[in-house]
Structure 1
């Protein structure tokens, strides 16, 4: 005899809308599971996080389209795409003293908002503004570039050779305090960083993620 008891498929619900054609879906129970990104205009449907994603509870504003950064609940890091959501990779925080107490990353409770605009991410906390680099790599460090010779305030000198520039654009978040007197401060994509989150006008998406804990029950 066939059993009538079959395991229910976990529910899928839209937990964030960027605009009328881009959104995030969570597939799982109790607001935790796999996170999928969809762009109906570009025909993109990709898995950003395979399991255990929990929604970000702070303010989240994201008009940017090419560069997409999805914050996580259990840590202030994010999952990043630089190709309109086709592929995804984890971002990180720069080593060094980004926080007043010397830590390199903020605790979740200190986060106020995450804004992604003009292909650049801005994480505002109670004490600091974290940001990704501007959305390009320093041409001097690309293959065939001339490299960068540097001398830091402590007298240390060196050369960054083309092809060994380290962080790709958009993959590392740091503060102006952490940037000061570092090799990264010499790179053009880290120059002229703002002191506050850029103003966003005309945004039609959601400003927080949403999730129904009882979905599928």
Structure 2
């Protein structure tokens, strides 16, 4: 239909130009002029024909690198959370609703191993395949870290490390899921619950010098609604009236 509109515009314009030099063809001149105007109108944008669609605000709350990031859709920094890798075309919904942003220091240079904590560290969404699938792990029985109890959360060497304010260092299993779905501490090591491959270091391993990700999640608490544009060509409106629109 758009092609037809352009053809009508072209034909109408040509015929109208020709009839300008032949005044006796008044009827043809008027018809060609109307055809030209109809073609122009058909491909011209018409605003405010329908109410614009308003959706919840969406914002990037954390960026691992230039291609990978966490997207939050919702109000007051709470809502749906997605892990997205534009380069690898990975889109995974971590939370369908009501997830809040983790506010403590958080660095994540690891690539295939993804570790995304809930705001209160009650659970940690973990992936070992670059974000294509996730499982939830926890700090373990008897361990609890509330808001502002974790001075540092780093994910490096395909392992998550959480340093609590009391000096306790939590580390995820390596290999992932070998013993269970809990974070490990020195206490597990002393009790010989874990093998030598699960040794807990004394400190968090250093972050690579070429790390370009963020040091903390960021969120605009007062982010506004997103208004989607709703402009349609007049021809599309005609199609809607005729019932032929796609």
RMSD (Å), alpha carbons = 2.0
Looking at structure 2, the residues matched to 8 and 89 of structure 1 have their Cα atoms a distance apart, in angstroms, of 33
Residue number in structure 2 paired with 1:107: 146
**TM-score calculated relative to the size of structure 2:** 0.65
| 8 Å contact from structure 2 (residues 69, 84) kept in 1 | yes
Cα distance change on mapping 1:74 and 1:8 into 2, 3 Å: farther
Residue number in structure 1 paired with 2:137: 91
Residue number in structure 1 paired with 2:39: none
- Matched residue SS, 1:189: helix
| 8 Å contact from structure 2 (residues 127, 134) kept in 1 | yes
Q: How does 1:149-188 map to 2 (within 5 A)?
A: 166-167=179-180, 171-183=181-193, 185=194, 187-188=195-196
Count of residues in correspondence between the two structures = 174
Residue number in structure 2 paired with 1:126: 165
**TM-score calculated relative to the size of structure 1:** 0.73
Looking at structure 2, the residues matched to 30 and 137 of structure 1 have their Cα atoms a distance apart, in angstroms, of 34
Q: How does 1:185-196 map to 2 (within 5 A)?
A: 185=194, 187-191=195-199, 193-196=200-203
Looking at structure 1, the residues matched to 196 and 87 of structure 2 have their Cα atoms a distance apart, in angstroms, of 33
**Relative to total residues, which structure has the larger helix share, 1 or 2?**
2
Stretches of structure 1 that go unaligned for 5 or more consecutive residues are: 96-102, 139-165
**Relative to total residues, which structure has the larger strand share, 1 or 2?**
1
Structure of greater Rg: 2
Looking at structure 1, the residues matched to 76 and 177 of structure 2 have their Cα atoms a distance apart, in angstroms, of 40
State yes or no: 1:17 paired with 2:56. no
Where in structure 1 do 4 or more consecutive aligned residues deviate above 6 Å? Answer: 4-7
Deviates more, 1:23-32 or 1:84-93: 84-93
Stretches of structure 2 that go unaligned for 5 or more consecutive residues are: 1-49, 226-246
Looking at structure 1, the residues matched to 62 and 207 of structure 2 have their Cα atoms a distance apart, in angstroms, of 18
